Amino acid sequence: MDVRLVDLLKVLELEPLEVNLFRGESRDIGSPQVFGGQVLGQALVAAYKTLEEGRGDCHSLHAYFLRRGDFNAPIVYQVDRSRDGHSFSTRNVTAIQHGQQIFTLAASFQVAEEGLEHAATIPEVPPPEALAPYLAEADERILTLPDPVRRFLAHSRPFEFRPVQPMRFVDPQPSAPVKQVWFKAVDRVPSDDLQLHRCLLAYVSDYNLLDAALRPHGVPFMRLQLASIDHAMWFHRPCRVDDWLLYAVDSPSASGSRGFSRGSIYTRDGVLIASTAQEGLMRVRS
């Protein structure tokens, strides 16, 4: 198995410290702080660890990023078992580092049941085989950027991304606030566990969202201060993250140095499996 995926699975293996208390390690992906998707995925893992067998799967989560995470120190996750009802369970997770809250998550779980169904249709885009993967390390324009920015963009990730729209970090041109990108894990996940795949999907859902809000403005990446403020996610149907998935993102608004984006995630045969929404800081440096 690819070492990048092996390492990500290790990051999602939290250490139990006490009842409802877990510890996770972090990875430096070149950003100034812990990657938001990592904290999101670990917090969902912590919530799942307090759920009794047969209590269902996560159908929605809502999170706030409160402070920058330090990837040189462990993160402690404290879970509050807020409710276990007949069909639904609720967990509230607080991530703590250096004695301060850095992140909070509320997640709801539902026992599987049948009901009415409908879903949006997948946008018409080229299939992943018709698109080239974006490899920042092979993009000569990235070499002109300052070292911290270059290190973040060129970091080798455990997911492969094949964007429909061109990636332009150095000389972006104003365009529609829309982004579509195919993605999948770089190797086969050695488990059919639905919970694990949802935690991995939560991890990767933090990529690509804020980009759509930046597209109308054509501001170079190195002039921006970017950070996730909050993140919401709804899981509609099961999926595997090692099969191709399409992330279709649009941004209806940006104001007050904040950009708002919403996303839909589809399987390659057009099944809507998850929806996301995020507001992020997108401050232009003078």
Active site residue 206: yes
**Catalytic-labelled residue, pool 228, 251, 261, 264:** 228
Here the tokens at position 166 are 């061109």
Q: Give the angle 161-167-169 at the CA atoms, nearest 5°.
A: 125
The DSSP symbol for 142 reads: G
What is each CA distance from 168 to 8, 121, 176, 177, 250, in whole angstroms?
27, 28, 14, 14, 17
Coil/strand/helix, residue 109:
strand
Here the tokens at position 153 are 């963009």
**Catalytic-labelled residue, pool 42, 89, 251, 278:** 278
**Catalytic-labelled residue, pool 26, 33, 42, 206:** 206
How far apart are alpha carbons 34 and 36 in whole angstroms?
A: 6
How far apart are alpha carbons 187 and 8 in whole angstroms?
A: 12
Residues annotated as catalytic (active site), given as ranges: 206, 228, 278
